[in-house]
Structure 1
Amino acid sequence: MAKKTNGVSRRSFMAGVATTGAVAAAGCTSNTGTETASGLSGNIDISGSSTVFPLAVAMRGEFTAEEMHPNVDISINSTGSGGGFTNYFCTGDTDFNNASRPISETEQEQCTNNDVTPVELKVATDALTVVVNNDASWFGEDGEECITVEDLAEVWAADSKPTTWSDVNSDWPDEEIQLYGPTDASGTFDYFHEEILGEETGHRTDYQSTEQDNQIINGVANSEYAIGYMGFAYYSENTDRVTALGIDNGDGCVKPTLETASSGEYQPLSRPLFTYPARSALAEDHVAEFARFWLENSTNKAIVADEVGYVPNTEAERDENLDRLDSAIEAESE
């Protein structure tokens, strides 16, 4: 298993996940939840969203620190929201699934058929970010770079499928569009598809798809005529390498920032982020304690905003989700 990322800077961590794609805590103990002299012990397996991945790793680092619960081993695998639900969580193979969109009816049905009861917990808010090359001057300059929702939809729609930028807007260059984005197992893909393209319009498939957001950054940074999208946290670590486009949803251009995501100005690409523990897993003390720790720290600006790059929960959101968690723990203990 890979070495824990406890105690490293987020920039160092993000560079590492570009090549590994998954991080697991060192050592594997049985999932017993037995207590030791130093506190709880046991193993926790987490699958799911690449967007929530860095937040989960940051919370793991805090939770498993020497002065906290060093004998709890937490394995985190970046599979995409849908890939995690379908292949790991709803089959009963992981304790949590991270997601950048709500669980679907199909996934919920799969979970139910396997006696898995997901507990939805909101852990942060993200500003899904559209990025272009720093030399893509046709979108504007000096912080004014912008695209309308209609033009963004035209770029990514399967039915229109333009090949050059001038196919979208005659004032733009007659150069081939190069596209980078998440796979269709990603919650980021699902959210972008729903909010930008709509249910009736297909998402084009002729693009470079990956579950590794840093590969999207690299592709866009290396091509003047490229465009891509991912969670805000990955862009925030690469502001010198790519340019974030503002989104004009009909009321003027709004740039993705923690402030505009928190205020609701950044529409339609501001979105909630979730983790879903399995209710049965919450019967284990170490699993329940980690879920509670994550929610209690979901309002922590130093971790959620400064270290990772997302909007923290409000105190009201934290308390609402803690109540939901406590109800699930209580139901499982009956």
Structure 2
Amino acid sequence: MSFKKQRESTIEKTLLPEEQQAKIDEVRKMIGPIANKLPALCSEAEISRYLRARNWNTKKAGKMLKESIKWRLEYKPEKIRWENIAHEAETGKIYRANYCDKYGRTVLVMRPGFQNTNAVNEQILYLVYCMENAILNLNPDQEQMVWLISFQRWNSSNISLKVTRETAKVLQNHYPERLGLGILYDPPKIFESFWTMVKPFLEPKTFKKVRFVYSDNPQSQKTMEDLFDIEKLESAFGGRNPSGFDYEAYAQRMKEDDKKMSDFIESGCSPSYQPSIMSESQQSDSLASEGSDEAGLSSDDEAASSNLEIIGDEIQDQSHHTNNVANGDKNETQMSKPAEL
């Protein structure tokens, strides 16, 4: 992909309401009868999210939505239950917090340093389960969530290009515009280097959603106070709540949510704040056999994926710098920190 093409693709369009509606109607026509089979996934709100993710390009958004429908019918994410992924959740590497931010957005805590398995498919299954659960618990006036990412126990050995690619593929292709804000809490120096190299391959609006926050930086702590109720926020993130991840308590919460999800599916309807739950999963065979665009990443995504492999090699070469974070000059680390919200 040429620099000119990449630059043009990063310019975010601003459309008038009537222009947006025209784009939504165009995508709905492109989808055809699929919209009638899976109305919850083809609502105006859902189509709008896919259009925004593809910068209002109807052809790309239509292809993306078709692939998401096919993926959902085959993968059946809404049918994943706690017993399918309980072993993946044991260390609390990903979990939904029992509080929202001050805007009422669901908070999904991610702790990659607590990875406890090696099977990529199982890890992705758990990620999908967590995303579905987070969406299930969105407030009626919200469609986006907050990712609170901790770097406790994290080091360069936690970098897996295969997991990174699969994670990015699932999140970008099937959960567009679900991220409202991503907070990177106390990232080490080596991750800052990784982020600097990744930046050119991210959409500007995605990059703007990410905040670097440091426990020893007063301005960073103000960011957390502005976003969260400090009394509810875990102490690991600068809050006053001493409670950590409790596997047994979390398991109980998830089992209750599983029942809620099952009730929605059995009733044949979905709550207004959960457009991603499909109401007719049993039609997977008929829809999967319908013609669709070739599966796979777009040319832009393929280029980014190739660059990710190069970046991964470079970041592994820099792994010897990890120990310098703890022993290096504190003032130098402060100087290198990106600006916070």
For this structure pair, what is the TM-score category when the shorter chain's length is used for normalisation?
under 0.3
Query: Normalization by structure 2: what TM-score?
Result: 0.23
Specify which structure has the higher proportion of helix: 2
Specify which structure has the higher proportion of strand: 1
Query: Normalization by structure 1: what TM-score?
Result: 0.23
